[in-house]
Amino acid sequence: MTRGLFVTLEGGDGAGKTTQAQLLAEWLSDRGASVVRTREPGGTEVGALIRDIVLHHRGEVAPRAEALLYAADRAHHIATLVRPALERGDVVIQDRYLDSSVAYQGAGRVLGRDEVRELSLWAAEGLLPDLTVLLDLDPDLARSRLDADDKPFDRLEAEKEVFHAAVRAEFLALATAEPDRFLVMDATRPAAEIAGAVRDRVAGLLEARSGDVGAAD
Ligand code: TYD
């Protein structure tokens, strides 16, 4: 079966995911690839409604309800947008995916990481990325980047420092557990340097893929 490539970007708030997604998308488009840029939460119309609840609702959302809201966004997004794109053979570049759920809902809060991961895998019918770029950044530095942006914090950005430190540690643990899927980059490196390393990995994956297709013919 011909299948596209699924690349996700992960990391704390303010780590530069959007910049890297943009640079990768431009490079791939210039090479003639068909690229879909998307994000969670909020990559679909239904998702935009869910995003509004999880990021902007004032007051408490019970932890299981929050995990289910992210999972609901994911289920709809993967089924209606991401899988069809991959089946067409497109490259999907996505800001945040199930690793964010494990890191934010699993490690930072009262739910266990395994149950959060299982819930996400159920929602996405087992879909895992071909490559996950983790932009690793000290939460204190991330905070000063967000301060410089001069935008109001959303609900999660306003969480305490200890929460962000736990999220960072969980992302790094996830990367250690799945070294083949993850590319960990120091987010303080120049954006062009990070983009170069990401391109190298993506080029390798695309090459391997075209080799597979050749072998199957
Ligand atoms: P957003 O403004 O989209 O992201 P970013 O900080 O990457 O620019 O905010 C998304 C927030 O949602 C972010 O703080 C992480 C959080 N989140 C979860 O807690 N669980 C999830 O499963 C996902 C996808 C995101």
pLDDT digits (tens, 9 = 90+) for 68-78: 999 999 999 99
* Protein residue whose Cα sits closest to atom 5 of ligand 1: 13
87: pLDDT strictly greater than 80: yes
* Protein residue whose Cα sits closest to atom 19 of ligand 1: 104
Q: Please state which of the ranges 4-13, 63-72, 135-144, 148-157 shows the lowest mean pLDDT.
A: 148-157
For 15, residues 6+ apart whose C-beta sits below 8 A from its C-beta are 135, 136, 137, 142, 187
Mean pLDDT over residues 3-17, rounded?
93
Residues 98 and 67 sit within 8 Å (Cβ to Cβ): no
Residue 28 C-alpha to ligand 1 middle, in angstroms? Answer: 25
Cα-to-chain-centroid distance, residue 77: 13
**Helix spans in the chain (H):** 17-30, 45-56, 63-77, 83-88, 98-100, 113-123, 139-149, 161-177, 191-216
d(CA 140, CA 120): 29
Q: Which of these, 194, 192, 191, lies nearest to 183 by C-alpha position?
A: 194
Q: Which CB contacts under 8 angstroms, 24+ apart, belong to 15-21?
A: 15/135, 15/136, 15/137, 15/142, 15/187, 16/135, 16/137, 16/187, 16/191, 16/194, 17/95, 17/96, 17/135, 18/95, 19/191, 20/133, 20/135, 20/191, 20/194, 20/195, 20/198, 21/93, 21/94, 21/95
151: pLDDT strictly greater than 70: no
Mean pLDDT over residues 98-124, rounded?
91
Q: Please state which of the ranges 54-58, 183-187, 195-199 shows the lowest mean pLDDT.
A: 54-58
Residue 157 C-alpha to ligand 1 middle, in angstroms? Answer: 9
* Protein residue whose Cα sits closest to atom 22 of ligand 1: 101
User: Given ligand 1 and candidates 13, 68, 168, which is best to mutate, with the most ligand atoms within 8 Å of its CB?
Assistant: 13
